[in-house]
Amino acid sequence: MVIVYIEEAGELAQQALAFAHELGEPLHALAAGGAPAVAGVETIHVAEDDVFASHAPAAIAQALVELVERLAPTAVVAAGTERGNEVLAHAAARLDVPFSANCVAATAGDPMHVTRVRWGGSLLEDARLHGSPKLLTVQPHAVPAAENTGDEPETEAFAPTLSEGDRLVRVVERVAAADGGISLADAKVVVSAGRGAGSPEGFGIIEELAGLLGGAVGCSRAVTMAGWRPHTDQVGQTGTKIAPEIYIACGISGATQHMAGCKGAKALLAINTDADAPILASADYAVIGDLHEVVPAVSAELRKARGD
């Protein structure tokens, strides 16, 4: 049996389920606080406690440890989100077993052979994973999502035994993004700018284009380091991993750490003054030109096409 930790229903959960399914064993799921709408598992084990009203990684890990001790799975799989990796890291420490994060492939066995993303996506590592159970997370957007077939799994609630220490780390407050808009991670269109924007004011035209396309605004680390935009806007290895239908990268050179965050984009349009910028090697479309001229021109054409 394989247990899949479901942080929330959605595409990443379906990707983790598809990955776990390939291990060829019956699937069970763990959820904290309530049963998510997922299919393809025999039973969803729902850990119940007031602390699960918000994200509480140590408490979730303790619930996972109890489930592992009760069900003796061969493996535990989760989506390789920040929270998924955090929960499995806690669980690995408690179970004293190794943990392989951000896997893109795994072959069942002991040891299990895994391929995982390292160094922000700049290399793939083949490794052997020992220990029991095998703990692994799945690199977001690296494997296709399983179809949510609609079959209703059984739900079993349980109350894990939690210490005060387990309850210490939890989300106590949520602050909405200043623009209240679409989240970078979920946006179908992301318009980003880098140092080429020149100043915080340079983002006015980026916000305008993102608004016209119903997308979110992103940026490079050069921009967050300069204090032009908040860190929540940063795309990359140390920022948000995005997977939009189209990524419009303006005045961004394409450093490996930036590209690590936008590999999941279905299409990439680069706008850059430098025809030799590294980002052009990954671009599906490119405009060689000054973003301060190109971006307003694109917005103007969009307005014209819509009859605004």
* One residue of 57, 121, 133, 261 binding ligand FAD per CB under 6 A: 261
Smallest gap from Cβ 197 to ligand FAD, in A, equals 8
Smallest gap from Cβ 272 to ligand FAD, in A, equals 4
Query: Does residue 133 belong to the site contacting ligand FAD (CB under 6 A)?
Result: no
* One residue of 15, 62, 137, 272 binding ligand FAD per CB under 6 A: 272
Cα–Cα distance for residue pair 187/215, rounded to 1 Å: 6
Residues 6+ apart with CB under 8 A from 33: 46, 47, 48, 49, 52, 53
Q: How far is CA 221 from CA 25, 228, 233, 253, in A?
A: 42, 10, 9, 11
Question: Residue 173 has which token pair?
Answer: 């407050």
| Backbone angles phi and psi of 60, in degrees to 5 | -65, -40
Query: Does residue 80 belong to the site contacting ligand FAD (CB under 6 A)?
Result: no
Smallest gap from Cβ 288 to ligand FAD, in A, equals 9
Stretch touching ligand FAD by CB under 6 A, among 85-93, 143-151, 172-180, 246-254: 246-254
Neighbours of 175 (CB within 10 A): 6
Stretch touching ligand FAD by CB under 6 A, among 14-22, 111-119, 158-166, 257-265: 257-265
Smallest gap from Cβ 236 to ligand FAD, in A, equals 2
Minimum CB distance to ligand FAD smaller for 160 or for 236: 236
Query: Does residue 257 belong to the site contacting ligand FAD (CB under 6 A)?
Result: yes
Minimum CB distance to ligand FAD smaller for 73 or for 261: 261
Q: Name the burial class of residue 305, with classes exposed (0-12), middle (13-18) and buried (19+) by CB atoms within 10 angstroms of its CB.
A: exposed
Cα–Cα distance for residue pair 41/33, rounded to 1 Å: 18
Q: What is the largest CA-CA distance in the chain?
A: 63
Residues 288-307 that bind ligand FAD (CB under 6 A): 290-292
Neighbours of 197 (CB within 10 A): 27
Question: Residue 157 has which token pair?
Answer: 């609630």
Question: Residue 139 has which token pair?
Answer: 């690199």
User: How many residues touch ligand FAD (CB under 6 A)?
Assistant: 28
* One residue of 191, 258, 263, 268 binding ligand FAD per CB under 6 A: 258
Q: What percent helix, strand, coil does the chain show, rounded to 5?
A: 35, 25, 40
* One residue of 50, 147, 152, 274 binding ligand FAD per CB under 6 A: 274
Residues 182-241 that bind ligand FAD (CB under 6 A): 194-196, 220-223, 234-239
* One residue of 255, 280, 286, 302 binding ligand FAD per CB under 6 A: 255
* One residue of 252, 262, 283, 298 binding ligand FAD per CB under 6 A: 252
Rounded to the nearest 5 degrees, what angle is found at the Cα of 234, between the Cα atoms of 286 and 248?
20
* One residue of 35, 241, 251, 283 binding ligand FAD per CB under 6 A: 251
Amino acid at 32: A
DSSP state of 213: T
DSSP state of 238: T
Minimum CB distance to ligand FAD smaller for 45 or for 221: 221
By CB under 6 A, name the binding residues for ligand FAD.
194-196, 220-223, 234-239, 251-253, 255, 257-258, 261, 271-274, 277, 290-292
